[in-house]
């Protein structure tokens, strides 16, 4: 395998943290954490930084990842409870304090521009450096379907260490040899089943026990909890209404702020005037905030109305105030022809025979907004302490309290130690809530209203028009086919693609790191197919449109490009799409098992009514392999209906089957909404869409029947499930439309007219 610009691939890691990696080896942080780390209160005993117990026999597990509906609180607690042999009904979860013990290392590794199966010096060095740098930086973040993958060993190890402590405490208390004791169902028992002590009865017997090396972890055959679907920990509070999302935060003397952001990307408010002298009752202040202007009042509705009707803003335009989508697509088309690749990758024999038929296809994917159901919000409170110092407290739905703390401290001009971040439940995240724009605006408003908390809330229009978007992308596939023999033969394929890079923009936007000019890692992963030869040229586009991480990131558009083209290749070679994929995956049994499962369960090859078709797509992402078959019908008036989606997933060890199925279904609906409706367009430097009437989503009445099948290949690699369900759905539907109508759709969203 050949690479160009190796420094661009690993430069950000090496340049940003080489000295820090040296520090890692000088003093590697213990990922178990101390027994006093996890907010140990009266009546509780800490067993390590992840687990504590209380006298009421509760087992409290630290979950440092944001719960945004993906079931992470339940899944992570299950890992610890399994090794601890706790009863599920005694398990509770709490947010831990901010500490490097709770860092997410896998999220850095996952952003590298390599396929999971790639090996070699560059890949190994990049993974090694990212892992070590992740340990040094100690970033607490939720995203990239990494939560379970990152926690798989640390949380199980914490559970095993906790079990060992409890066994030794019970042994000492009851004067029974440890070898004669076992932990089971939240109790310590003799091996004959006689109860010795509940966990809670050992709270006062643990304090002076010394730590020992972690005992061996359970074998999969010994699992009792992992692989089952106990009730989710977050559901009761959400059902009863006691759950606190960001918009639910209510503090004494709370003020509310409505925001208008600059019309063009990169713009700002440079001044404002009031249409009438003075502020009306209920409006406290008008404040310029990063990227826009805010009105602060006693109700959000009143502040928003006043800002819209009574404030004239003098705007500073962004760098491209006349940008429009048509011109941008022309720029991308030119880059596709003449742009210099930031990354070139190839494998196989690229030699072409003299007589070859060249087949090309060009695909487009537009900008996409995130549109989480909970509006974007953040509450901040700046308190003045003695000696003139300020302390900042923040409440918000966010995907990285580490980044929120950093941004809040910088905005307020205080040290990070003076900032406290409270992460609430998230009403959807999808990558959007890893951004720091809301916390910057909220802290700015709170500085203008000292000693009073201020809640910033964006309208849906502000959300859609000032998002950090899934990049628009353009790709051209080429296939060389030898048509001289009795049957056409594929000789090789190549792809050039153009897109902005969230990997470049995000660190520059959030913490000020310089851009490296490298493509987003998930957008350049190799297809799994054994093509005779393959060549990729990835071109990174510049631009003022902010792009960020969107559910499944680069996979969300490259899966459409790749799986649509594989289907077109099958048609050009006169082969069944399933059979063609199987030929190219003969050496990859995991992929074949997923393909065969989805084909069997979807009834691949069985007759369908006229105007109906099935389409197949396969994508490996975030350590998991997902295949989907979409069944569509197209009426005479070109009305499209996605009637059924069959999904097969191999995510390695399954922690909670119900959560896996729910996340596959969620990913399908999210991806289907984008495939059928999602498109952000620009005119005069601004986004044209503003709310769900012009940026629609799949409604319940139009949702397809979905069936999710879990595939057990015996793989030990832990895969993610929050995002892998999204990438295959768009190409599966596009391929089904071709099967039903003979019309090939190469642009998203999919439109028949």
CA–CA separation, 281 vs 297, rounded Å? 9
- Beta strand 51-54 with 59-62 is antiparallel
**With 50 as the cut, is the pLDDT of residue 254 above it?**
yes
Please compute the mean of the pLDDT values over residues 335-339 and round it to a whole number.
98
Give the DSSP H/E element, type plus range, for residue 538: strand 533-540
Omega of the bond leading into 749 within 30 degrees of 0 (cis): yes
CA atoms lying within 13 Å on the CB side of residue 590: 20
H or E stretch covering 506: helix 502-511
Q: Which of 460, 466, 407 is nearest to 436 (CA)?
A: 407
For 39-100, where are the E strands, in sequence order?
A: 44-46, 51-54, 59-62, 91-94
Q: Which of 558, 723, 554, 726 is nearest to 144 (CA)?
A: 723
Matching residue, tokens 């520059």: 508
As a whole number of Å, the CA-based R_g of the chain is 27
Provide the total of helices (H) and of strands (E) in the chain, helices listed first: 17, 28
Give all domains of the chain, ordered by start, each with its CATH number: 31-104+139-240 (3.30.365.10), 246-318+376-457 (3.30.365.10), 325-368+468-741 (3.30.365.10)
* Closest of 258, 733, 685 to residue 460, by C-alpha: 258
Tokens of 671: 């991806």
The answer to whether 57 and 186 have CB atoms below 8 angstroms apart is: yes
Query: So what's the pLDDT on residue 175?
Result: 97
pLDDT at 122 exceeding the cut of 80: no
Residue 18 has a pLDDT of 36
Residue range 170-220, pLDDT digits in tens:
999 999 999 999 999 999 999 999 999 999 999 999 989 998 999 999 999
Q: Are 376 and 432 in contact (CB under 8 A)?
A: yes
Residue 192 has what pLDDT? 95
**Residue 627 pLDDT > 50:** yes
User: Rounded CA gap, 149 and 94, in Å?
Assistant: 20
Name the one residue in this structure whose structure tokens are 């890992």: 79
- Is the pLDDT confidence value at 381 over 80? yes
Query: What was the pLDDT predicted at 121?
Result: 76
With 0-12 / 13-18 / 19 or more C-beta atoms within 10 angstroms meaning exposed / middle / buried, residue 685 is buried
Whole-number pLDDT of residue 6: 37
Contact 720, 145 (CB under 8 A): yes
- Nearest to 291, CA basis, from 442, 417, 168, 88: 442
Both tokens assigned to 49 = 């930084």
Token pair of 704 as six digits: 């397809």
Which pLDDT score, from 0 to 100, does residue 11 have? 43
Whole-number Cα distances in Å, 211 to 175, 197, 256, 594: 20, 21, 49, 44
Residue 719: phi and psi, rounded to 5, are -105, 160
Helix, strand or coil, per DSSP, at residue 250: coil
pLDDT at 133: 61
Choose the weakest-confidence range: 26-40, 668-682, 690-704.
26-40
Distance of alpha carbon 706 from alpha carbon 14, whole angstroms:
44
Is the model's pLDDT at 401 over the cut of 50?
A: yes
| pLDDT confidence bin for 702, thresholds 50/70/90 | very high
Average pLDDT of the segment spanning 719-748: 98
Does the pLDDT of residue 8 top 90, yes or no? no
Q: How confident is the model at residue 433 (pLDDT cuts 50, 70, 90)?
A: very high
Residue 554's SS3 state is coil
The DSSP code sequence of 455-491 is: EEE--HHHHHHT--BBPPEEEEEEEEEE-SSSS-EEE
Instruction: Please give the angle made by the CA atoms of 642, 69 and 366, to the nearest 5 degrees.
Output: 50
Contact (CB, 8 A) for 8 and 347: no
Instruction: Tell me how far apart the alpha carbons of residues 85 and 186 are, in angstroms, rounded to a whole number.
Output: 6
pLDDT at 636 over 80: yes
Asked whether 621 and 664 are in contact (CB, 8 A), the reply is no
69-85 as b/e: b if 16+ CB within 10 A = bbbbbbbbbbbbbbbbb
- The pair of three-digit structure tokens given for residue 490, joined into one six-digit string: 């594929």
pLDDT at 26 over 50: no
DSSP annotation of 369: -
State the chain's mean pLDDT as an integer: 92
In this model, does residue 28 exceed pLDDT 50? no
* Residues 6+ away with beta carbon under 8 Å from 704: 630, 631, 642, 643, 644, 645, 668, 672
How remote is the C-alpha of 522 from its chain's centroid? 12
Pair 436, 407: CB distance under 8 Å: yes
The tens digit of pLDDT for each residue in 582-607 reads 999 999 999 999 999 999 999 999 99
DSSP symbols for 189-222: EETTS-EEEESGGGGGG-TTPPP-PPPPPPPGGG
DSSP three-state, residue 396: strand
Instruction: Name the residue with tokens 């000295």.
Output: 19
Cα dihedral 437/440/442/448 (nearest 10) = -150
What's the CA gap between 603 and 497, in Å, rounded?
34
Give the whole-angstrom CA distance, residue 721 versus residue 621. 9
What is the DSSP track for 690-731?
Answer: -STTTS----GGGPPEEEEEE------S----SSTTSTTHHH
**pTM value?**
0.94
Question: CA-based diameter of the chain, in Å?
Answer: 88
Question: Cα separation of 683 and 414, whole Å?
Answer: 40
CA dihedral 629, 634, 640, 643 (to 10 degrees): -40
pLDDT digits (tens, 9 = 90+) for 459-482: 999 999 999 999 999 999 999 999
Q: Cβ–Cβ contacts within 10 Å for residue 179, how many?
A: 9
Is residue 19 predicted with pLDDT exceeding 50? no
Chain segment 527-563, per-residue pLDDT in tens: 999 999 999 999 999 999 999 999 999 999 999 999 9
Q: Give the Cα-Cα-Cα angle 279, 281, 287 (nearest 5 degrees).
A: 40
pLDDT digits (tens, 9 = 90+) for 479-536: 999 988 788 999 999 999 999 999 999 999 999 988 889 999 899 999 999 999 999 9
């Amino acid at each position: 395998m050949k690479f160009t610009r190796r420094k661009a691939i690993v430069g950000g890691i090496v340049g940003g943290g080489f000295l820090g990696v040296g520090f890692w080896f000088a003093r590697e942080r213990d990922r178990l954490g101390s027994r006093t780390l996890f907010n140990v209160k009266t009546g509780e005993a800490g067993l390590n930084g992840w687990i504590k117990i209380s006298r009421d026999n509760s087992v409290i597990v630290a979950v440092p990842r944001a719960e945004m509906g993906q079931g992470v609180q339940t899944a992570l607690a299950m890992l610890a409870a399994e090794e601890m042999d706790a009863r599920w009904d005694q398990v509770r979860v709490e947010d831990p304090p901010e500490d490097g013990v709770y860092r997410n290392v896998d999220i850095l590794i996952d952003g590298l521009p390599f396929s999971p199966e790639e090996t070699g010096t560059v890949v190994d060095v990049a993974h090694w450096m990212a892992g070590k740098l992740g340990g040094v930086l100690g970033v607490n973040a939720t995203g990239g379907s990494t939560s379970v993958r990152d926690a798989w060993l640390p949380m199980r190890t914490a559970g095993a260490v906790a079990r060992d402590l409890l066994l030794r405490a019970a042994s000492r208390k009851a004067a029974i040899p440890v070898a004669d004791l076992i932990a089971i169902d939240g109790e310590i028992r003799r091996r004959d089943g006689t109860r010795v002590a509940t966990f809670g009865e050992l709270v006062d017997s643990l304090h002076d026990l010394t730590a020992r090396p972690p005992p061996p972890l359970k074998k999969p055959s010994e699992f009792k909890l992992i692989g089952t679907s106990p009730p989710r920990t977050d559901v009761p509070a959400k059902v009863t209404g006691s759950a606190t999302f960001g918009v639910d935060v209510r503090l004494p003397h709370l003020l509310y702020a409505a925001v208008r952001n600059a019309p063009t990307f990169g713009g700002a408010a440079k001044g404002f005037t009031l249409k009438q002298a003075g502020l009306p009752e209920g409006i406290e202040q008008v404040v310029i905030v990063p990227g826009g202007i805010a009105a602060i009042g006693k109700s959000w509705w009143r502040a928003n109305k006043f800002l819209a009707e009574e404030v004239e803003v003098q705007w500073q335009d962004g760098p491209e105030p006349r940008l429009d989508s048509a011109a941008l697509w022309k720029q991308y088309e030119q880059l596709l022809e003449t742009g210099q690749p930031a990354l070139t990758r190839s494998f196989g024999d690229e030699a072409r025979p003299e007589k070859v038929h060249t087949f090309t296809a060009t695909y487009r994917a537009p900008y996409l907004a995130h549109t989480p159901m909970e509006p974007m919000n953040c509450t901040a409170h700046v308190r003045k302490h003695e000696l003139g110092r300020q302390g900042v407290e923040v409440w918000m739905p966010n995907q990285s309290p580490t980044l929120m703390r950093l941004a809040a401290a910088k905005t307020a001009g205080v040290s990070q130690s003076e900032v406290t971040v409270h992460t609430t439940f998230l009403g959807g995240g999808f990558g959007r809530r890893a951004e720091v724009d809301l916390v910057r605006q909220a802290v700015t408003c709170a500085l203008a209203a000292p000693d009073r908390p201020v809640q910033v809330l964006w309208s849906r229009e502000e959300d859609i028009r000032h998002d950090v978007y899934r990049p628009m992308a353009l790709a051209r596939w080429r296939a060389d086919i030898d048509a001289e023999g009795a049957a056409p033969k594929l000789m090789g394929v190549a792809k050039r693609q153009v897109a902005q890079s969230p990997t470049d923009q995000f660190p520059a936007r959030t913490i000020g790191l310089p851009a490296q000019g490298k493509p987003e890692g998930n957008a350049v992963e190799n297809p799994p197919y054994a093509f005779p030869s393959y060549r990729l040229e990835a071109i990174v586009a510049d631009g003022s449109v902010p792009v960020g991480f969107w559910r499944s990131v680069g996979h969300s558009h490259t899966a459409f490009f790749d799986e649509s083209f594989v289907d077109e290749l099958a048609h050009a070679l006169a082969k069944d799409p399933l059979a063609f994929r199987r030929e190219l995956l003969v050496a990859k049994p995991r992929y074949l098992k997923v393909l065969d499962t989805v084909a069997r369960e979807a009834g691949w090859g069985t007759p369908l009514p006229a105007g109906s078709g099935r389409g197949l797509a396969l994508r490996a992402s975030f350590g998991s392999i997902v295949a989907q078959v979409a069944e569509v019908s197209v009426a005479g008036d070109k009305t499209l209906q996605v009637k059924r989606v069959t999904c097969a997933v191999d995510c390695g060890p399954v922690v909670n089957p119900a959560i896996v199925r729910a996340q596959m279904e969620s990913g399908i609906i999210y991806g289907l909404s984008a495939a059928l409706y999602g498109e952000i367009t620009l005119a005069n430097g601004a986004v044209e869409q503003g709310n769900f009437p012009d940026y629609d989503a799949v409604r319940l009445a139009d949702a397809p029947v979905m069936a999710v099948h879990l595939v057990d290949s015996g793989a030990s690699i832990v895969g993610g499930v929050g995002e892998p369900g999204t990438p295959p759905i768009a190409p599966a539907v596009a391929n089904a439309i071709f099967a039903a109508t003979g019309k090939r759709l190469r642009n998203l969203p999919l439109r028949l007219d």
